[in-house]
Structure 1
Amino acid sequence: SLTSFYGAGAGSGKSDPSLGSGSLGGSFCIAVIAGPASEEFMYRKSAALQLFLFGYELTDTLVVCMQTPGGPGGEGELTKEMHVVSSAKKCRLIEPCIEKCLKDAGVTVILHTKEKGDDGKKHIDEVIARAKHVGLLAQFAHIAKEYTPPFEDSAPFLKAYDQAIKAASITPQDAANALATALAPKDESEILYVRKAAMLTTAALNKFVVKQLEDTIEEEKKIKHSKLSELTEDSIVHPTQVGVKLNEENVEICYQPIFQSGSSPAYDLRPSAQSDDKIMTYDTILVSLGARYNNYCTNISRTFLIDPDDGQQKAYQKLVDAHAAAVAALVEGAKLSDAYEAAKGALGDEYAAKLTKSVGYVMGLEFRESAYVINAKATAATVKAGMVFNVSVGLSDLVTKKGKKYAMQIADTVLVKPAGEAPQVLTDAATKRYSDIAYNLEGDDEDEEPAEKENAKSRDAKTKGKKEAAAAAAPAGGGGGARR
């Protein structure tokens, strides 16, 4: 909420110590500027803040949030202002927020409307003059990563902003970590959006992806990873295809769904991985997908094993245990590094070296919040109630008995609950049990290990059983990933 943003977030001095200059104190001045529209889709913190504040992503717009002590010596009630420089049309979109901001959070919104064809320099100067008048130029901060001069003539608004801060001899701090601190914990309305997105993500996996994989395997079809990605995307953006009643206008994909199989090229466990045009092979299949609802992100990843040997079964169970350990460690007040060490400890010496360098990060209006990544170095950043994590645990550079390289990955969307409560896995309806993800197409192979025959079902029985389970729509926990 806006109250938490101005109160316990960007300027209260309560941001995590690991985030360095993210703690801007009781007084702050944060400028968030967005340039012209781009055809390339990117997650930007400027867009995230606009969506958080107004529910819209606005191009060529400057938002400056100020907070100043209202009493002598900085004591007493705080003065809170939000200055917006934008076009008349965009200012009209923001107007309905003015009364709500003042009533709910005591924030006065001042609109600076620039004329058509105006670069906005005059209005930007006005905002900077206001910051100087209340003594905030020393606290002036913006998102350094998104401020990349020199700016082209095609971005006159960005050029005007650049000229204005240089003319005022401002040396901006980096506001990225302060904004991360403020936006990471979600309020009840945001959590509701995440829950709806997680419901769609899970349904897309259970009711479309699993069925598609089983039909492909059973009928021995040939299909490209890229085609599977395309079909899965379609099932997400049209929720009724997977039995979810959500308004399509509020639904998007977080990224193009990822399908990987085979070992050439090597499996890519990064969130930036892409589905190639190669035909899916019947070995180790990795699937990742995520839906957004009202711009809030979720994610899920699952590994499917075709004719696994007993070594793969063992590795998979270790992966499930490590994932469950990481989830369990995400309690309010814990260090992010605790979750990484928990996952590593659950793997034991045999598999710890195969673990990915990080096992997740905070999600929200951005898919990946770089200030809150779960790795061994995150010893100061703390877990807070309301945070939503993508807990993604992977093992790479594994080798089957036949000498074939493979990797495994499990990811879920996890909500941190208030102190004393266990985390909640919002995508737990998608099973992680070995018996549900292992397919045995060579059930009569004389060389097959007894353990494999016992734990991996035959293709027909497997498909039949999973179709019945999907029809029943009964949530299933993942071995070791206990339902919260």
Structure 2
Amino acid sequence: LLQASSGKSTADDPFQGVHAVLVIVGDISEENPYQKSTALQQWLLGYEFTDTLILILQDKIHFVVKEKRADVLEKLKQGGQVQIEIHKRTKDASHNQKIFESIISKITEGEKKRIGLLLKEKISGKFVDEWKAVYNKHEKDFEEVDIASGIAAALAVKDEDELKTMRTASKISISMMNRFIYLVTSMIDEEKEITHEQLAEDVENILYSKEDKWLSSQKSMQDVDFERTDICYAPIIQSGGEYDFRTSAQSNTSLLHEGTILFSLGVRYKSYCSNIGRTILMNPNKDQEKTYEFLLEIQRRILEWIKDGVKICDVYTKATRYIKTKRPDLLDKFVKNLGHGTGMVLNLFIGFTDLENPKATDEKSKIYALWLIDTVRVGGESVQVLTESNRSFNSICFSFKDANESKRPAKAVETKR
């Protein structure tokens, strides 16, 4: 980032030759908690701070923060290779205005400069308003450049500490998914009724409930700081012939159906996210088993094709060609993309939707879907699946009744609130 603020642009420079990088965070955004500004804070500081300005110049980094946070950041000066200057905000508006004026002068130094900003991010709050009141007076002194792609490039390569954090997030996701499988199979075995929405809340409670100590009591969780653990999105549970692969999908109020169940969950640990999704097949037939095994084969090949420098669109093309060769009947059922990347970590999403099951024993089993979602680290010549768990057919296939078994009336499930 310091090298980026040199003012010298090259053809492959994602920072476009800016002289300074300016990143501002105001109030917490509930609508969009995943922004590059907060990701940069996490990358630089290990924490996310509201009401903070960061100015990165070639020879120095400036922070404008509240007094209490300034005391925390003072530790960065100790033994650092980069010069750091910390400006303490107070409740005195005139004092804060002088700080902002000094920040402006450090950028311009008497001449017009190219300044790198995250122009598409929406920021708000009293701190932002105070800054804009000063900045707008000098806006003509700057050439604004959107450096979102530059920030993304800088954050793409994860160091060992970041990878350790992502492994922990993945470990939590795996444990919560295993607990979900236990809950679901128990409910179906006991023929209890529960809605997708209720079950999703129960899964969230595995993490949030102060009474439920199951997760924190696991040996693998002893080093986890649960105060810095959160759900990325409400768990998605789908069954009964209605399946939605869109990112906006939600668990609905329909009852859980004994058939094909899709589940996905995301866990955020110290601002680093993991994602996992599995299909659970209840009493599947041979055709469903064959199709699921083919989905596993597609994932194995995709994991072989993904490498540093390979475009994900090229991997998708290879996958569709393979499907066309081996199972052309599934080509139009395949997902339209393979997920999204967070630097050199990929949220890999594959699946088939709107599959027909002519051997279904009930109406809701006539249409089904399959998906596999994993968090994958991309390396030079290979990849590492961080959410490696419960993927084989035997791991996700369950059978609870034989053909002669009569069905008992369903029991209502008492959910924890």
Please indicate the TM-score interval, normalised by the length of the shorter structure.
Answer: 0.7 to 0.9
Deviates more, 1:196-205 or 1:156-165: 156-165
Once residues 82 and 50 of structure 1 are traced to their aligned partners in structure 2, the CA distance between those partners, rounded to angstroms, is 13
Deviates more, 1:191-200 or 1:327-336: 327-336
Q: What residue number does 1:406 align with?
A: 368
Q: Would the alpha carbon gap of residues 394 and 28 (structure 1) be closer, same or farther in structure 2, given more than 3 Å must change? A: farther
Q: Secondary structure at the match of 1:109?
A: strand
Out of 80, 94, 116, the residue aligned to residue 91 of structure 2 is 116
Q: Over aligned residue pairs, what C-alpha RMSD do you find?
A: 2.9
Once residues 339 and 31 of structure 2 are traced to their aligned partners in structure 1, the CA distance between those partners, rounded to angstroms, is 25
Matches within 5 A, 1:191-230: 191-206=163-178, 208-230=179-201
Indicate conservation of the 8 Å contact 2:54/2:63, yes or no.
yes
Q: Secondary structure at the match of 2:197?
A: helix
Once residues 189 and 309 of structure 2 are traced to their aligned partners in structure 1, the CA distance between those partners, rounded to angstroms, is 48
Deviates more, 1:329-338 or 1:173-182: 329-338
Q: Secondary structure at the match of 1:397?
A: strand
User: Is 1:257 matched with 2:235?
Assistant: yes
Tell me the amino acid that sits aligned with residue 116 of structure 1: K
Q: Secondary structure at the match of 1:324?
A: helix
Q: Secondary structure at the match of 1:333?
A: coil
Give the fraction of aligned pairs with identical amino acids, expressed as a percent: 31
Once residues 60 and 110 of structure 1 are traced to their aligned partners in structure 2, the CA distance between those partners, rounded to angstroms, is 17
Unaligned runs of 5+ in 2: 405-417
Matches within 5 A, 1:306-345: 306-345=282-321
Indicate conservation of the 8 Å contact 1:144/1:174, yes or no.
yes
Q: What residue number does 1:350 align with?
A: 329
Once residues 390 and 383 of structure 2 are traced to their aligned partners in structure 1, the CA distance between those partners, rounded to angstroms, is 17
Number of corresponding residues: 387
Once residues 10 and 43 of structure 2 are traced to their aligned partners in structure 1, the CA distance between those partners, rounded to angstroms, is 18
Task: Tell me by how many angstroms 1:443 deviates.
Answer: 3.9
Unaligned runs of 5+ in 1: 68-79, 364-371, 373-386, 446-484
Indicate conservation of the 8 Å contact 2:174/2:276, yes or no.
yes
Q: Would the alpha carbon gap of residues 242 and 134 (structure 1) be closer, same or farther in structure 2, given more than 3 Å must change? A: farther
Q: What residue number does 1:130 align with?
A: 106
User: Is 1:395 matched with 2:371?
Assistant: no
Q: Secondary structure at the match of 1:63?
A: strand
Once residues 71 and 132 of structure 2 are traced to their aligned partners in structure 1, the CA distance between those partners, rounded to angstroms, is 26
Q: What residue number does 1:381 align with?
A: none
Once residues 334 and 133 of structure 2 are traced to their aligned partners in structure 1, the CA distance between those partners, rounded to angstroms, is 47
Question: 1:403-456, CA deviations, whole angstroms, 9 ceiling, x for partnerless residues?
Answer: 733322101111122x33x2111111x1211232223345438xxxxxxxxxxx
Q: Would the alpha carbon gap of residues 81 and 270 (structure 1) be closer, same or farther in structure 2, given more than 3 Å must change? A: farther
Question: 1:310-331, CA deviations, whole angstroms, 9 ceiling, x for partnerless residues?
Answer: 4433332222222222222221
Once residues 165 and 49 of structure 1 are traced to their aligned partners in structure 2, the CA distance between those partners, rounded to angstroms, is 22
Q: Would the alpha carbon gap of residues 33 and 399 (structure 1) be closer, same or farther in structure 2, given more than 3 Å must change? A: same
Once residues 32 and 120 of structure 2 are traced to their aligned partners in structure 1, the CA distance between those partners, rounded to angstroms, is 16
Tell me the amino acid that sits aligned with residue 329 of structure 1: W
Q: Secondary structure at the match of 2:57?
A: strand
Q: Secondary structure at the match of 2:38?
A: helix
TM-score by length of 2: 0.83
Task: Tell me by how many angstroms 1:188 deviates.
Answer: 0.8
Once residues 236 and 9 of structure 2 are traced to their aligned partners in structure 1, the CA distance between those partners, rounded to angstroms, is 38
Out of 410, 426, 432, the residue aligned to residue 391 of structure 2 is 432
Matches within 5 A, 1:52-131: 52-67=43-58, 80-100=59-79, 103=80, 106-118=81-93, 120-131=96-107
Q: Secondary structure at the match of 1:146?
A: coil
Indicate conservation of the 8 Å contact 1:11/1:23, yes or no.
no
Q: Would the alpha carbon gap of residues 88 and 193 (structure 1) be closer, same or farther in structure 2, given more than 3 Å must change? A: same
Question: 1:32-60, CA deviations, whole angstroms, 9 ceiling, x for partnerless residues?
Answer: 11112455572222111112212222112
Once residues 288 and 6 of structure 2 are traced to their aligned partners in structure 1, the CA distance between those partners, rounded to angstroms, is 50
Tell me the amino acid that sits aligned with residue 169 of structure 2: A
Once residues 66 and 405 of structure 1 are traced to their aligned partners in structure 2, the CA distance between those partners, rounded to angstroms, is 57
